[in-house]
A and B are shown apart, each in its own frame.
Chain A
Amino acid sequence: MREGLSILGRTAAAAREEVLEELWSAAEAGVRLTVDELAHTIHAGASEGWAGVVQELVEQRLVHLEGDLLSLTPAGVEEARAAARRHRLAEVLFNQVLDLPLETTEQEACRIEHLLSPEATEAVCSFLGHPPVCPHGRAIPPGECCQALAGRKVEPLIARLCDLAPGERGKVVLLAPRHRERLEQLTDLGVTPGAVLVLKQRKPSFVVEVDRTLLALEDDIAAGIYLRPLLEW
């Protein structure tokens, strides 16, 4: 069985981040998990592998074992927090920017999160505009990049045209229409990376202004235009 979620198919590092993340989520929810429950939430079934991973984490003093109940030590909290942050940022990237369905998002996020270096994580976070929650609605632990901006309202660095409110404007960063011919049509009309769009209305159809010309377009097309929002000038 090549089910990507089996613990044995993963590297040791990935498995331990997985466990830390799970414990982080449980702590958020205010629960403490037992080893069996942990195995259950990770959909792995009881197996030798889990015991080994948990054992290792306990030895490294990241996880505290009290009877049958698991909890994170202060050092464990630090690491779990970073893992949860990477995972949830990856989810936002896949789901909200690249438009993958939630199920795929989950798997892809699991796969990519372990590869993200701290710098790359900061970059993704900034690119996404320091999102506060993941697509499932769980809080994304803020990183240094977010804290530096704390207290200030941060515009996301990139948004889809369909996520703007009427009156907002943005500079086109990339076009990713569903049909590739659409790309040429948009380009011919002047909707091209670098062009400034002003969203005029969303209903009954999207209307944008580009180069002093109004264009009406399908919601679908609006969902494929990514812009960097600009402040009023």
Chain B
Amino acid sequence: MPDAADSPAAHSTVLSVLLVGNPNVGKSVIFGALTRRYVNVSNYPGTTVEVTRGTAAHLPGRPQLIDTPGTNSLTPQSEDEQVTRDLLLAEPTALVIQVGDTKNLRRTLYLTVQLAELKRRQVLVLNLQDEARDLGVRVESGELANLLRIPVIPATATRGTGLEAIGRRLAEAAVASCEVAYPASVERAAAEVAALLPKELGDQRYGVALMLLAGDPSLASWLRGRVSEEGLLAIGRRRAALEAELGTRAASVISRARHRCVARLLRQVFHQDRAVAGSLRDRLGALTMHPLWGVPVLLLVLFLAYGFVGVFGAGTLVGLVEDGLFGEVINPWVISLVDRLAPWQWLRQLLVGPYGVVTMAITYAIGIVLPVVGTFFIFFGVLEDSGYLPRLAVVINRVFRGMGLNGKAVLPMVLGLGCDTMATLTTRILPTRKERVVVTLLLALGVPCSAQLGVILAILAAMSPLGTFIWGGVVMATLFGVGWAAARLLPGRSSDFLLEVPPLRTPSLANILIKTAARTEWYLKEAVPLFILGTLLLFVLDASGALPAIERAARPVVVHLLGLPAKAADAFLIGFLRRDYGAAGLFVLRQDGQLDGVQAIVSLVVITLFVPCIANFFMMIKERGAKTALAMVAFIVPFAFLVGGLLNFILRALKVAL
């Protein structure tokens, strides 16, 4: 979704400031407040998987502020965490604003200790003070600042408190003073490895040496250009020697030493009053993950989504905007205007003909899809900010097991309902390559994005509920079947389910509105040009007489295999550009009475499973490589038609009437 993209790298003369912290502690809220730039803010770990840069007008010297994906350690466990670690190494002089969750000071300080080993100058923002207070957690930030000798700033970013102190105290940023007492053998090894590292790393060498001794394979490529072949070998040997000496993994010994250091700090500044038992928030949170009640809660959420997006958005609003605004006001007015002003027949056709830019592209994009995505974005925003999504992952972890995935994959899959392109990017939170490939495939294959889903729901809502069941059943069974097969065919390992579940939070109306506006703007920017492009394509094909030829060529598949009218080929054709556009084509066919019930369901199943849109395809190439992306598309297209053909055959054989 419309997360601000990475702007071209700024000049290195500009002072950089990095926002670093554990996942879901509010880095993006602080980024937004300091730069006045919107970045996606949600209540689940892994909202930010890319780096976002902006100018922090509110900080002295207007430095470039860089928002990073959350991480629990500088030894990354997934791609998004690696982004942060790599950025720290790439920006060796940048100051660090570490954002931490006050109620979980242990994890915060665990990261502080590692930043200190890398000799990073930092301030520490203890965010989420409000939640900590509710839970009876007290942190003596003054005492902590004395111990670490860095500025410690209590804040509640969502309410804007404490943020003004960041600018005031950034100049005091310093390397946190917390000496970790490592066993002598580790210190000796670290000193020896540090000596092998390039001089320009300066005093960071000791910290990098510890990362290498912990055996971080993701550092290898960064190291290759900087250390000679022999140096690399020597480091590997030294690490093996250390592990032999310790009799265990160096990584465990190192992390244990860090934790001991953190525990010592905690004893001095962290106070936990007796917890207030069972607040409403806790009880509600437990209910959403309950083995029995979790299911009705999920059904309720689905029902609300259907009611708000399917019935209200796709029904009421589309009726008002498409039939009312476009059908009765805008289009007649534009048509009469064009008829009067445009001298040529072809221009009139181009603007207001059956494949006209106004009558087709704009009407589809604004009249049909916009009301649907608008309502979806609102609903989805509430869902994201409430903290429900990670709880959904807990409930359906077992279902995902069958697909070689685990509950963590629920996040990208559900985000795919918003936009498959962004969801493909979010697969970075998954720990293994196999999982990332399977989820990318499933997103491209059968997870309809909000725009497409809305149009599909609009068609389904006007049919008997049986239609919705068949469509949903076939798509879900296909997803599960393909996932199941992919899990068995693809090499590699899946990971175990391990996910942080954030507290339920009351969504803030302002954030929902800003987020919806940003996403809608992104939709208009990305979709409308493609809608117009697709319409132009159809117009040219139609005018040149190629369209009937294509329809004829597609006949064996569209008419004979799928049992659809030849005209449906148009919808599939523009479906290559955007799946929602293809679905909108079907919507119009259905409105015109050219599709009966079975045909509607078959065509909807095909368009759902059909190729990913262009934007998603490019994202697949970027994230998974061209070969994998092409292989996926080569599988998906024939497979979608095959499933559609099979469904057509079965429904006809059973004489299902819809």
Q: Tell yes or no: A214 within 8 A of B by CB.
A: yes
In the bound assembly, the distance between CA atoms of A193 and B33 in angstroms comes to: 38
Within 8 A of B (CB), among A169-188: 177, 179-188
Q: Tell yes or no: B164 within 8 A of A by CB.
A: no
A181 lies within 8 A of B103 (CB)? no
B390 lies within 8 A of A216 (CB)? yes
Q: Tell yes or no: B259 within 8 A of A by CB.
A: yes
Note all chain A residues with C-beta closer than 8 A to B135: 212
Q: Tell yes or no: B521 within 8 A of A by CB.
A: no
Specify which of B107, B256, B497 is in contact with A213 (CB 8 Å cutoff).
B107
B496 lies within 8 A of A217 (CB)? yes
Q: Tell yes or no: B294 within 8 A of A by CB.
A: yes
B255 lies within 8 A of A192 (CB)? yes
B500 lies within 8 A of A218 (CB)? no
**Interface 0/1 of A196-223, CB less than 8 Å to B:** 0000110111010001111111101100
B103 lies within 8 A of A216 (CB)? no
B395 lies within 8 A of A184 (CB)? no
- Contacts known (A192-B255, A203-B291, A207-B394); A216 close to B496, Cβ less than 8 A: no
In the bound assembly, the distance between CA atoms of A195 and B106 in angstroms comes to: 10
Specify which of B72, B263, B286, B496 is in contact with A200 (CB 8 Å cutoff).
B286
Note all chain B residues with C-beta closer than 8 A to A182: 496, 498
A214 lies within 8 A of B501 (CB)? yes
In the bound assembly, the distance between CA atoms of A182 and B255 in angstroms comes to: 13
B103 lies within 8 A of A189 (CB)? no
In the bound assembly, the distance between CA atoms of A200 and B77 in angstroms comes to: 25
Give the total of B residues in contact with A, Cβ under 8 Å. Answer: 47
- Of A203, A204, A217, the most chain B CB neighbours within 10 A belong to A204
Q: Tell yes or no: A190 within 8 A of B by CB.
A: yes
Q: Tell yes or no: A74 within 8 A of B by CB.
A: no
Within 8 A of B (CB), among A26-82: none
Note all chain B residues with C-beta closer than 8 A to A190: 104, 106-107, 110
Note all chain A residues with C-beta closer than 8 A to B407: 205, 216
B498 lies within 8 A of A218 (CB)? yes
Specify which of A204, A218, A221 is in contact with B291 (CB 8 Å cutoff).
A204
Q: Tell yes or no: A118 within 8 A of B by CB.
A: no
Q: Tell yes or no: B289 within 8 A of A by CB.
A: yes
Note all chain A residues with C-beta closer than 8 A to B285: 214
B263 lies within 8 A of A216 (CB)? no
Note all chain B residues with C-beta closer than 8 A to A203: 291
In the bound assembly, the distance between CA atoms of A214 and B504 in angstroms comes to: 11
B393 lies within 8 A of A216 (CB)? yes
B397 lies within 8 A of A204 (CB)? yes
A212 lies within 8 A of B104 (CB)? yes
Specify which of B252, B390, B496 is in contact with A220 (CB 8 Å cutoff).
B496
What is the CB-to-nearest-CB distance from B114 to chain A, in angstroms, rounded to a whole number?
A: 10
Q: Tell yes or no: B249 within 8 A of A by CB.
A: yes
In the bound assembly, the distance between CA atoms of A8 and B431 in angstroms comes to: 53
Within 8 A of A (CB), among B501-519: 501-503
Note all chain A residues with C-beta closer than 8 A to B214: 184
In the bound assembly, the distance between CA atoms of A200 and B286 in angstroms comes to: 8
Q: Tell yes or no: B79 within 8 A of A by CB.
A: no
A185 lies within 8 A of B106 (CB)? no
Within 8 A of A (CB), among B261-312: 263, 272, 285-286, 289-291, 294
Note all chain B residues with C-beta closer than 8 A to A180: 249
B103 lies within 8 A of A186 (CB)? no
Q: Tell yes or no: B101 within 8 A of A by CB.
A: yes
- Of B101, B272, B397, the most chain A CB neighbours within 10 A belong to B397
A216 lies within 8 A of B499 (CB)? yes
A215 lies within 8 A of B500 (CB)? yes
Q: Tell yes or no: B137 within 8 A of A by CB.
A: yes
A215 lies within 8 A of B77 (CB)? no
What is the CB-to-nearest-CB distance from B628 to chain A, in angstroms, rounded to a whole number?
A: 24
- Contacts known (A194-B263, A207-B394); A212 close to B249, Cβ less than 8 A: no
What is the CB-to-nearest-CB distance from A61 to chain B, in angstroms, rounded to a whole number?
A: 48
Specify which of B398, B406, B497, B500 is in contact with A214 (CB 8 Å cutoff).
B500
A221 lies within 8 A of B496 (CB)? yes
Note all chain B residues with C-beta closer than 8 A to A216: 289, 390, 393-394, 397, 407, 497-501
Note all chain B residues with C-beta closer than 8 A to A195: 106
B107 lies within 8 A of A189 (CB)? yes
In the bound assembly, the distance between CA atoms of A213 and B387 in angstroms comes to: 13
Q: Tell yes or no: B83 within 8 A of A by CB.
A: no
Q: Tell yes or no: B251 within 8 A of A by CB.
A: yes
In the bound assembly, the distance between CA atoms of A216 and B408 in angstroms comes to: 10
- Of A180, A185, A190, A214, the most chain B CB neighbours within 10 A belong to A214
* Cβ-closest chain A residue relative to B497: A218
* Cβ-closest chain A residue relative to B260: A194
B259 lies within 8 A of A194 (CB)? yes
Please name 12 pairs of A and B residues whose Cβ atoms are closer than 8 Å in the assembled complex, sorted by A.
A185-B77, A188-B73, A188-B107, A190-B104, A194-B263, A204-B397, A214-B501, A216-B289, A216-B407, A216-B497, A218-B397, A218-B498
Task: Please give the residue numbers on chain B whose beta carbons come within 8 Å of chain A beta carbons, in ascending order.
Answer: 72-73, 75, 77, 101, 103-107, 110, 132, 135, 137, 214, 249, 251-252, 255-256, 259, 263, 272, 285-286, 289-291, 294, 390, 393-398, 406-407, 431, 496-503
Q: A189-B500, A204-B289, A217-B499 are in contact. List 17 more A-B contacts (CB 8 A).
A: A177-B496, A185-B77, A187-B259, A188-B77, A190-B110, A201-B289, A201-B290, A201-B291, A204-B291, A204-B396, A205-B395, A205-B407, A214-B500, A214-B503, A216-B397, A216-B497, A220-B496
